[in-house]
């Protein structure tokens, strides 16, 4: 693990908020263990190992019924750790892979049978070398045959440049971490209003109202992030997902307590109906009903 890397919380609190039965943690990762699933040679960071067993124990501790496990950049396009975790979880997990452009339909089909339902396009420059958009467009076409969607990760300053690309995709698109807004600017700033307009204009675009720990300027109090997530949940109740982002790679400010992250949910989804959509109906529709 990198010298300045902060390992995940060793003993997160039991949340005060009890998630409804069947709830899905729709954004989390497994890392290694490196002796079995080595990190990718081109990775930009080396994390602390975070095994499938540790993920499943956290799922149970927090009260979730299932996970969506997202391939992280430190494993590149080698999805072995992800597929191993999906295999170990059975019906209790689905996956988001990162794949090479020349992947065959039969390799994709095999991933599908293990629970993969999406590919991730990562535009965050500190995490990956850039990929031409034409390559991503071709991949999006390829996975459409399986009914897969696209998970997209970028940071707020990159949105204007990415909008035409996103509008060319007709798969369902899920944008990670609310497009990573600068919360100091407030929800009324043109940057976040641009993000809201994108979701208003394109009904195939969803987002994860996740990562207050990455976005806050006042850790470990996440109240500055709440208005952003709550606006999205209230305006687009059928197109939002929630996830812990365990094991929280590349945190610099603090180590989040996953129990406290769960306690943010009722602040961003204040009614039982909104909580049900966010935690059950939406992820089940996207990851389990196909």
Residue 151 touching ligand 0GY (CB under 6 A): no
CA–CA dist 39, 81 (Å, integer): 10
Number of residues this chain uses to bind ligand 0GY (CB under 6 A): 11
Contact between 77 and 36 under an 8 Å Cβ cutoff? The reply is: no
Q: What is the DSSP string of 57-78?
A: HHHHHHT-SEEEEE--GGGTT-
Contact between 214 and 180 under an 8 Å Cβ cutoff? The reply is: yes
CA distances from 241 to 23, 49, 82, 176, 207 (A): 11, 25, 20, 9, 6
Residue 127 touching ligand 0GY (CB under 6 A): yes
CA–CA dist 283, 238 (Å, integer): 10
Query: Interacting stretch for ligand 0GY, rule CB under 6 A, among 72-80, 134-142, 258-266, 282-290?
Result: 72-80
For ligand 0GY, the closer CB: 176 or 258 = 176
For ligand 0GY, the closer CB: 136 or 274 = 136
Enter the DSSP assignment of 206.
E
Omega of the bond leading into 220 within 30 degrees of 0 (cis): yes
For ligand 0GY, the closer CB: 245 or 258 = 245
281 is catalytic: no
CA–CA dist 94, 158 (Å, integer): 28
For ligand 0GY, the closer CB: 153 or 192 = 153
Contact between 118 and 99 under an 8 Å Cβ cutoff? The reply is: no
CB of 153 to ligand 0GY, least distance (A): 6
CA–CA dist 192, 37 (Å, integer): 38
Choice among 25, 49, 245, 258 that is catalytic: 245
CB of 151 to ligand 0GY, least distance (A): 9
Residue 32 touching ligand 0GY (CB under 6 A): no
Residues 157-176 that bind ligand 0GY (CB under 6 A): 176
Residues 192-251 that bind ligand 0GY (CB under 6 A): 245, 249-250
Residue selected from 72, 96, 143, 225 as contacting ligand 0GY according to rule CB under 6 A: 72
CA–CA dist 142, 203 (Å, integer): 21
- Which of 217, 213, 215, 222 minimizes the C-alpha distance to 255? 213
CB of 145 to ligand 0GY, least distance (A): 25
CB of 78 to ligand 0GY, least distance (A): 13
**Which residues of the chain form contacts with ligand 0GY (CB under 6 A)?**
29, 72-74, 122, 127, 153, 176, 245, 249-250
Which residues are known to be catalytic? 245
């Amino acid at each position: 693990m990198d010298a300045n890397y902060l390992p995940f919380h060793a003993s997160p609190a039991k949340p005060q908020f009890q998630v409804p039965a069947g709830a899905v943690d729709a954004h989390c990762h497994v890392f290694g263990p490196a002796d079995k699933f080595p990190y990718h040679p081109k990775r930009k960071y080396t994390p602390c190992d975070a095994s499938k067993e540790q993920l499943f124990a956290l799922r149970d501790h927090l009260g979730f019924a299932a996970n969506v496990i997202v391939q992280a950049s430190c494993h590149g396009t080698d999805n072995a750790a992800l597929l191993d975790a999906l295999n170990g979880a059975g019906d209790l997990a689905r996956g988001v892979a990162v794949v090479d452009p020349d992947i065959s339909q039969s390799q994709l089909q095999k991933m599908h049978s293990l629970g993969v339902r999406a590919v991730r396009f990562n535009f965050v420059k500190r995490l990956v070398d850039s990929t031409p958009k034409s390559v991503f467009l071709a991949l999006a076409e390829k996975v459409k045959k399986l009914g897969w969607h696209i998970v997209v990760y970028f940071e707020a300053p990159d949105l204007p440049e990415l909008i035409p690309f996103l509008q060319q995709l007709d798969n369902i698109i899920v944008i990670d971490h609310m497009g990573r807004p600068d919360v100091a600017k407030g929800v009324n700033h043109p940057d976040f209003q641009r993000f809201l307009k994108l979701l208003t204009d394109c009904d195939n675009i969803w987002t994860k109202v996740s990562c207050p720990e990455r976005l806050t300027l006042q850790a470990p109090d996440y109240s500055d992030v709440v208005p952003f997530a709550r606006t999205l949940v209230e305006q687009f109740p059928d197109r939002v997902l929630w996830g812990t982002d365990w094991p929280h790679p590349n945190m610099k400010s603090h180590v989040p307590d996953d129990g406290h992250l769960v306690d943010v949910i009722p602040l961003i989804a204040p009614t039982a109906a909104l909580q049900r959509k966010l935690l059950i109906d939406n992820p089940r529709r996207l990851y389990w009903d196909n």
